[in-house]
Amino acid sequence: MKNILILIIVSIFFIVSSFKLIGYINIKDSQHISCKLINKINLCIVSSILNILLYLKVGLNFEYIVYFILIIFITMTAYIDYFTHYIYKITTFPMLSISFVYYAINIMENNVCIDSFVSIFFSYVMLKVFSRLNWIGDGDVDVFVIISFIIFKDNTLAIIDIILSMSISGLVGIFMLVTKKADLNHRKPLCPSIAIATYIILLIM
C-alpha cells in the first residue's frame, strides 16, 4: 500500500510538472494547449491508475521504472498532440535517449535477440514509408521508435503497436465521420491513438 501511495504521488508530480513545459510551448509557439485544472486532474488520475496496474503486473524494478516514465511521456505527448497536431522534439529527444540507453543496456545483458532487432528495424522502415506518404508525421515516427526500444522483449510488439494504433485511429476517424464531427479532409492527431495502443500492450501483453 505504501508503494502504491508513493507511485500516485510521483505520477501526480510528473504530470503537474509537465504542464510547465506546456506553458512554455504555449508561449514560445503561440499555442493554446489547455491547462485547465480539470484536465490536470483527469491526466493525474489516468496516469496514476495505469502506473498502479503496471506495478501490480511487473512489480517494482528497473523495468517498471522505464515503463513508468514511458506512460508519463506518452500521456503528456498525446495530450499536447491532441491540441497542436504536432509532436515537439523537446518532448521526444530526451525520451529517445532514455529508450536507446535502456535498449543498449539490455543488449549488453544479452536480453535482446536478433529477431527483436529485425522487428524494430522493419517497423522503422515501414514508419518512414508512412511518413513519406504523409500518413503520419515525423514526430509519430519518433514516438513509435521510443516505444519499440522499450517494449522489445516480444519481437512482435513493435509491429502490433503500429497496427493497433492505426486501427484505433481509423475507428475514431470513422466515428467522427459518421457523427459528422469531421469531414474527409480533417487530419486528426495520431499520438492519442498510439498512447491507447501502448497502454493496452503494456497492461495486457
Domain boundaries, the chain: 2-204
* pLDDT for res 167: 93
What is the spatial distance between Cα 87 and Cα 95, in angstroms, rounded to a whole number? 13
Mean pLDDT by 10 residues, the chain (205 residues): 88 94 92 94 95 93 93 96 93 93 88 79 88 90 93 79 92 85 76 95 88
Q: Whole-prediction pTM value?
A: 0.91
User: Amino acid letter at 81?
Assistant: D
Please tell me the predicted confidence (pLDDT) of residue 156. Answer: 79
Would you put residue 28 in left (φ > 0), alpha (ψ -120 to 50) or beta? alpha
CA distance 113 to 25: 39
pLDDT value, residue 107: 85
The span from the CA of 41 to the CA of 83, in Å, is 17
